[in-house]
Structure 1
Amino acid sequence: MDHEGMVSMFEALVASGLSGFMGCSSALFEAALVEFLHNASVRDGIVVSTVQGKPVAISEELFASTFELPMEGLTDLHEVSQDLILEARRAFSYRGKMISTSCKKREMVSEFRLLNDILAKSVTVKAGSFDAMTHERFLMIADIYGGVSVNWGRLLFKIFKDMVTPMTRQARGYAMQICVLLKNAPGLELGESKEFPPLKIITTKIVGTYLSKNKKIYVDEDEPVRKRTSGKDTPEDKKLALVTVAQEAVPIQMLPADTPLALKRKTSKKRLRLPAGSDDEIVEKELDVADLVLEAETIGAVLHVEDSIEVVDITEGQEELDTG
């Protein structure tokens, strides 16, 4: 791969000790997987379930050893040094300026956008959009970037336990890893496996496509405006001009003394529309007939088009990624 930043990122990811977990066997045993998750729970810190009527127990030690995950190092990501966080805030920045640890993904350089997507789907197992960088994932990426020793066995096993614990908001995942654990469990006949879709495995070609797409991303330093496009780009010079609106002066009228009520002043509504996709699509302004002139300044709303993609966009699905 010619992209130096991507090469360095993947080398750091391998060195972190996560390669055995994310690059494991890609055989799928769907029926056994569904049954395991349906019956799974946590007892005394161990994930237990039944598959084909047989008990299955997965401890932290078994989980870590199966995927050769490090069992030494930080168990609390917040213990990472402030010096490394400050260095990462600048190194991850698309513009070379300090970014927040909770930021929009588009504010980051391509390699760390991709790493954010990988961790979001394959490690922290987040459902939905990956547009925002969370503080937790920022700390994970900083540890990987800085070569910090992390007890990934304990951290990932905790996420695994949350998946089968009722009342947690943890999305379920680790499909490949659970299938590996079930395949190694004694006494289970899992039958024929289903091949993991090749398009969902990150390759050099897929990374190249990711890079070419992300070249079009532009970040406004002041207030980025994000707009997804489908086929047609919005012209940058498309602006909305608000014309000056004037009300005709109403002459004073003499009313008879016996008129019971004064005429009610009428109001008219003017609806000002901004371009589709703007944060404020409709602005309503009440205009009173007592106002002789309402002057509206010309507003130029320049939309910067972002044609970014995520790992799930590349691989055409929402299932887990396998970086092996």
Structure 2
Amino acid sequence: MASAFITNSYQVNFDSVLGISDHEGMLHMFKALEANGLRGFLGCESVLYEKELEQFFDTALIQDGDITWAISGKYFSVSQSQFADVFELPTKGLVSFSDVPKHLVYKARSIFLQSGEQVSTHGKKRLMKYEYRLLNDILAKALTVKAGSFDVVTNERFHIMTAIHFGLKVNWSKVLFSVLKEMVDKTQKKSKGYATQIGVLLKIIPAITMGEGVPFPISKILSIKTVNTYIAINLTIDAHGQSDEPGVTDVAVVKRKSKSKKKSETTDETPVEIISEVAGSKKRPAAEDSALVIPKKRRTVKGKASLDVVPVAQDVLPLQIIEPTPAATVVESPAPKRISMKRRLVLPTGSDDEIMDTQEPVKDTDEIAEKHNDEIDDIIGHIIAETSKMGSDEKEQEE
């Protein structure tokens, strides 16, 4: 159960990190934390008392500004002044970090960033130098105790980093004790933390018999080894962010629209290579066993383009365009309609002989129509014969 209270937590081994010699920025950052009076709080005894820690958060409440809790049926309390004495915290200075001078915040905007440019106080921590990335995590996990991802630096944490970097006086006893009161307040959904610090508070009370302690996870204790690992991880992250992903190529999405006379074809939007093939050429290479014919060379043209492979029979002649002959120009209108269909029926008023006279023109008209149709058939036959002759001549020339 204690693991839930150390998820967002850090401890600092100052004796180790103050011996860093290969990273000047990290060394200055830890010296600034020590100068701000946070060594006693961040570097306290790293031991967890799981049973007592659970009882503390289950029973703790706020009374008259103090924190009261019960362990083994006995009630205990701690005030802000006692809290400050145990961890040797400063009792004077800033309480609200919004009071950090603006000109110092302006300087920090270029000091904290890798590029040295002026960047907003709210943004990704990967833009910052490694020592200030780690300082952001220490503030979020060990001091203010926030849950969730710490990839983004908030305005509040940026102002706290500014105060620590420039050595401003901060009333850490009030700031940190207020955070602890928020943790025990049941009306607020504050993340639980200060696991080792609460153990130190309970251990100094003679009336409390402490159980067996558990060492704090080494991975959460900042030493030379863990700091170097932190730097190596961030170097890898930066290198991965600057390099392009290998093996990824962009595929162009080409909209193809046929330019045929019929405008009812749809537009095809698929990732394809921009390669067009010429369809409908006069000469087609012969293929054995009626195989599919695929051109060896691919050309890009502005005419009709198609990506489909068209099967072509071996002995079929291609369609030829024939210039119109003078005889063909005569046949332009459709076959004439029968005149009898347009005649109006008129009832005869005379004798039977007169009726026979009126029917004779119809018979003559039928004969004229049949004669005209015969002429049309002759013209069509002539055109077909000419077409066949020209196709045979062209085939002989190709052979």
| Shorter-chain TM-score above 0.5 | yes
Q: Which residue of structure 2 lines up, in the alignment, with residue 120 of structure 1? A: 140
In 1, are the aligned partners of 2:38 and 2:89 still within 8 Å (CA)?
yes
Q: Secondary structure of 2:227's partner?
A: helix
2:243 is the counterpart of 1:243:
no
- What is the rounded CA distance, in whole Å, between the counterparts of 1:55 and 1:104 in structure 2? 45
Runs of 4+ in 1 over 4 A off after TM superposition: 249-253, 265-271
2:187 is the counterpart of 1:163:
no
Which residue identity lines up with residue 256 of structure 2 in the other structure?
A
| Structure number with higher helix proportion | 2
- What is the rounded CA distance, in whole Å, between the counterparts of 1:45 and 1:80 in structure 2? 26
- What is the rounded CA distance, in whole Å, between the counterparts of 2:69 and 2:166 in structure 1? 38
Q: 1:267 to 1:244 in 2, by over 3 A?
A: closer
- What is the rounded CA distance, in whole Å, between the counterparts of 1:96 and 1:108 in structure 2? 9
1:59 is displaced (CA, Å) by 1.1
Q: Which runs of 5+ in 2 are unaligned?
A: 1-19, 272-399
Q: 1:218 to 1:26 in 2, by over 3 A?
A: closer
Q: Which residue of structure 1 lines up, in the alignment, with residue 55 of structure 2? A: 35
Q: Which residue of structure 1 lines up, in the alignment, with residue 108 of structure 2? A: 88
Q: Which residue of structure 1 lines up, in the alignment, with residue 220 of structure 2? A: 200
1:197 is displaced (CA, Å) by 2.2
Q: 1:247 to 1:266 in 2, by over 3 A?
A: closer
Q: Secondary structure of 2:158's partner?
A: helix
Q: Which runs of 5+ in 1 are unaligned?
A: 220-224, 228-232, 254-262, 272-324
- What is the rounded CA distance, in whole Å, between the counterparts of 2:93 and 2:268 in structure 1? 68
Higher RCO (CA-CA < 8 Å; seq separation 6+): 1
Q: 1:54 to 1:269 in 2, by over 3 A?
A: farther
- What is the rounded CA distance, in whole Å, between the counterparts of 1:7 and 1:158 in structure 2? 29
Which residue identity lines up with residue 144 of structure 1 in the other structure?
I
Q: After superposition, what is the alpha-carbon deviation per residue over 1:133-183, rounded to whole angstroms, capped at 9, x for unaligned?
A: 111111111000000000011011111111011232321100000011111
In 1, are the aligned partners of 2:97 and 2:156 still within 8 Å (CA)?
yes
- What is the rounded CA distance, in whole Å, between the counterparts of 2:149 and 2:119 in structure 1? 20
- What is the rounded CA distance, in whole Å, between the counterparts of 2:78 and 2:267 in structure 1? 71
- What is the rounded CA distance, in whole Å, between the counterparts of 1:75 and 1:202 in structure 2? 27
Which residue identity lines up with residue 251 of structure 2 in the other structure?
A
Q: 1:85 to 1:236 in 2, by over 3 A?
A: farther
In 1, are the aligned partners of 2:255 and 2:267 still within 8 Å (CA)?
no
2:69 alignment partner, one of 37, 40, 49: 49
2:107 is the counterpart of 1:97:
no
Q: 1:52 to 1:268 in 2, by over 3 A?
A: farther
Question: Under a length normalisation based on structure 1, what TM-score does the superposition of the two structures give?
Answer: 0.72
1:68 alignment partner, one of 55, 80, 88: 88
In 1, are the aligned partners of 2:91 and 2:173 still within 8 Å (CA)?
yes
Q: Which residue of structure 2 lines up, in the alignment, with residue 183 of structure 1? A: 203
Of 187-196 and 137-146, the range deviating more from structure 2 = 187-196
- What is the rounded CA distance, in whole Å, between the counterparts of 1:141 and 1:31 in structure 2? 35
Which residue identity lines up with residue 246 of structure 1 in the other structure?
R
1:69 is displaced (CA, Å) by 0.6
Which residue identity lines up with residue 80 of structure 2 in the other structure?
E
Q: 1:24 to 1:241 in 2, by over 3 A?
A: same
Q: Which residue of structure 2 lines up, in the alignment, with residue 308 of structure 1? A: none
Please list, as runs of the form range in 1=range in 2, the aligned pairs for 1:1-324 lying within 5 A after superposition.
1=20, 2-218=22-238, 235=245, 238-248=248-258, 252=262
In 1, are the aligned partners of 2:60 and 2:184 still within 8 Å (CA)?
yes
Q: After superposition, what is the alpha-carbon deviation per residue over 1:176-233, rounded to whole angstroms, capped at 9, x for unaligned?
A: 00011111123111122112222321111111121222223449xxxxx969xxxxx9
1:119 is displaced (CA, Å) by 1.1
Q: After superposition, what is the alpha-carbon deviation per residue over 1:12-36, rounded to whole angstroms, capped at 9, x for unaligned?
A: 1110111110100112110010011
Percent of residue pairs bearing the same amino acid type: 41
Q: Secondary structure of 2:253's partner?
A: coil
- What is the rounded CA distance, in whole Å, between the counterparts of 1:135 and 1:183 in structure 2? 36
- What is the rounded CA distance, in whole Å, between the counterparts of 2:146 and 2:180 in structure 1? 13
Which residue identity lines up with residue 227 of structure 2 in the other structure?
V
Highest Rg: 1 or 2? 2
Question: Under a length normalisation based on structure 2, what TM-score does the superposition of the two structures give?
Answer: 0.59
1:241 is displaced (CA, Å) by 2.8
Which residue identity lines up with residue 39 of structure 1 in the other structure?
T
Q: Which residue of structure 1 lines up, in the alignment, with residue 302 of structure 2? A: none
Q: Secondary structure of 1:83's partner?
A: helix
Q: 1:81 to 1:237 in 2, by over 3 A?
A: farther
In 1, are the aligned partners of 2:256 and 2:269 still within 8 Å (CA)?
no
